[in-house]
Amino acid sequence: MRKCFAIVLTMLLVLGNIGFASVQPALGVEIQTEAASAILMDAASGEIFYEKESHKELPPASVTKIMTLLIAADAVASGKVKLTDKVTASENASKLGGSQIYLEPGETFTLEQMLIAIAVGSANDGCVAVAEHINGTHEAFVEEMNRKAQELGLKNTHFANAYGLPAEGHYTSAYDLAMISKEALNYPLIRKLTSIKEYDLRDGKFKLWNTNKLLWWYPGADGFKTGWTNEAKYCLASTVERNGLRLICVVMGVPQVRGHFAESMKIFNYGFAKYEFKQFAPANEKQGVVTVRKGVEDQVIANTEKPLGATVEKGKDKNFWVETKLNPEINAPIQKGQILGEVLLFRNDQLQTSVNLIADHAVAKAGLVDQLERTFKGVFGY
């Protein structure tokens, strides 16, 4: 009987370790993780819910590629490059080892296909090809990565390459990776790429499977990137969204095979057990009406641009209040989506967040005859 009890207890402990069950949050016990460094962050506010040695400088392996994708997505957003661009592999790109799609010199793919190969298949050779396409040389692209790190205020990050193979001066931290991931969420393209589970390359002759198993194993997971080298061990920067609450988790230096998934799920379990997103207004909800002067219409509705809410600890969602700031009138023409004001969310007297109020539709400027007719109506009542 004791032997059976011991077996059952062992199975429960194993399940807890791989993330399918965890009693730690309910007991209020600090998370224990095998990761050398880890962090759990609220994606909206950047608030840290858990950390362990989060500023320690460590090799990130292929998690580096989140910054590579960020630089590429920024180049697409700015119009510098297009997803339909033809990217031709150089001899320099074809020589890369590690995870790759085995590019041949002169082989051509679209930029979108190359980015999918990086996001899904962790293609080192794809990183060099994309870097050369965007910045001319791999070295110039890496300089861009380091400039972006400085722009984000990262104190413990320096990149030596765009793909993450071990190199002198190539390091980052769990906190810095979480901040890079937070910035990446501003680019829908990155989450679209990193959430692809499988992809057929070369007309189906080369199959890519996403290395991030959380996409299969953990509901709500939709990014970002795994990494492994002998030096870095197992690393993962990931994001999960449930019921409006989006969290970012980074684990680095996990020694066990697949341990980066188990440790991430454990940490996410803690976050979703303890916190929730409290919504005060959904996206596109009417918050007021603005008078339109000199327009073909007299009024325009002001809607919330995105959901208004805040991440709170469960059971501690009191003392919130909302303040609306709206221009009482505005001159035409008005563009759909034009900012008309904002709605602010406070807790006690501290501002938590704000959301723009935007015009629900466009209003053209009225012609001179229409404006005169409207003026006479206002003055004479006809």
Catalytic residues: 62, 65, 122
Between CA 144 and CA 360 the distance in angstroms is 38
Taking residue 359's Cβ as centre, other Cβ atoms within 10 Å add up to 20
Taking residue 243's Cβ as centre, other Cβ atoms within 10 Å add up to 10
Between CA 210 and CA 340 the distance in angstroms is 43
The label of the residue with tokens 């970012």 reads 248
DSSP 54-100: TT--B--GGGGHHHHHHHHHHHHHTTSS-TT-EEE--HHHHT--SS-
Q: CB under 8 Å to 63, separation ≥6 — which residues?
A: 164, 172, 177, 224, 225, 226, 227, 235, 236, 237, 250, 252
**CA-closest candidate to residue 92, choices 59, 56, 124:** 124
Q: CB under 8 Å to 191, separation ≥6 — which residues?
A: 184, 185, 222, 223, 224, 239
Between CA 71 and CA 59 the distance in angstroms is 20
- Residue 17 sits at the vertex; the CA angle it makes with 16 and 18, to the nearest 5 degrees, is 95
Copy the structure tokens of residue 302.
Answer: 């002001």
Between CA 218 and CA 220 the distance in angstroms is 6
